[in-house]
Amino acid sequence: MRTIPLRQALREAMEEEMRRDNSVFLMGEEVAQYNGAYKVSQGMLDEFGDKRIIDTPISELGFTAIGVGAAMNNTRPIIEFMTWNFAELALDQIVNHAAKILSMSGGQFSCPIVFRGPNGSAGQLGAQHSQAFENWYANVPGLKVISTMNPYDAKGLLKSAIRDNDPVVFMESEIAYGEMAEVPEEEYLIPIGKADVKRNGTDVTIVSYNKMMKVAMTAAEELAKENISAEVIDLRTIRPLDWQTIAESVKKTNRLVIVEEQWPFGSVSSEITYRIQKEVFDYLDAPILRICSADTNMHYASNLVAAHIPDVPRTVKLVKEVLYMKK
């Protein structure tokens, strides 16, 4: 099977869906003439033309509103944000319009739209460009939230998102667009709302998503050197969340560690912890532990960036802690 980078997997998903369905179009800053800020849309203008690959002004609220209106009128827009940090300017359209129009119209209008772009920290970019927003959008009824950096998963999930009749928030990672993985050339879809067990294990369950999966998987490899068997689950979809896969794993391993890039207060790990302790408490042999980003704004200095985000040594330490504690 061929190996391709994340940016190509995302591009192929959009191209295939645009060839299949003429109502699909891409709109955002620098997606056309510049081939995309991260070259995800490279070459798409040449194939589909400027009626379907549309450069916009630097006005997230404006072009998001156009996309929401278009989605309500029998098209399937893909709205690319240069970063989800900029999408805060469009929050009214995403939260108050796209997420609510189906219920507010009594089912008369749907909003089949995909909002996509890079999310989370990308290194030394400062506090205003280094935020992870999965929990923000997952808190909103009416939105589906996907967060992945794996090229195989990203292609299959993006194709499903484009075909979905509900608004989908699709979160990528700026530093992962070159991430490589095997992706088949034949068409495939991955269902929204299904987690994936990336590594089987028996001693502890580690749950993560997006680029923190690299931390989780590397930590599992380090733990294996000490004969500690960690099962690693990639959530892939944040809402709807695949509780069953997590619960079945915890029933097997009896311990759970969550690794995520969110701030700790009101995070995805908070919701997982509540739900798992509520549903499978009797299977837990130790309290659920988590490692999140620091509960501060991200600073620019490289040493503070490194201290802010979960890493492998701290994850390994946390897993050992949950292994050797008693409830």
Q: Which residues are catalytic?
A: 60, 129
Phi-psi region of 236 (alpha: psi -120 to 50; beta: other; left: phi over 0): left
Q: Rounded to whole angstroms, how far apart are CA atoms 72 and 97?
A: 10
Torsion over CA: 264, 191, 174, 142 (sign): negative
Q: Which of 20, 56, 16 is nearest to 36 (CA)?
A: 56
- What lies within 8 Å, CB to CB, of 274 at 6+ separation is none
The amino acid present at 299, given as its one-letter code, is H
Helix pair angle (312-324, 212-224), 10° resolution: 60
Please, which residues bridge with residue 114 across strands? 78, 168
The structure tokens listed for 247 are: 């619960």
The amino acid present at 2, given as its one-letter code, is R
List strand residue ranges (DSSP E) for the chain, in order: 3-5, 24-28, 53-55, 76-80, 114-118, 144-147, 168-172, 180-182, 196-199, 204-208, 230-234, 237-239, 256-259, 289-291
- Up-side HSE of residue 181: CA atoms within 13 Å toward CB? 18
Across the beta sheet with 196-199, what order do the strands follow? 196-199, 230-234, 204-208, 256-259, 289-291
| 295, 263 contact by CB (below 8 A) | yes
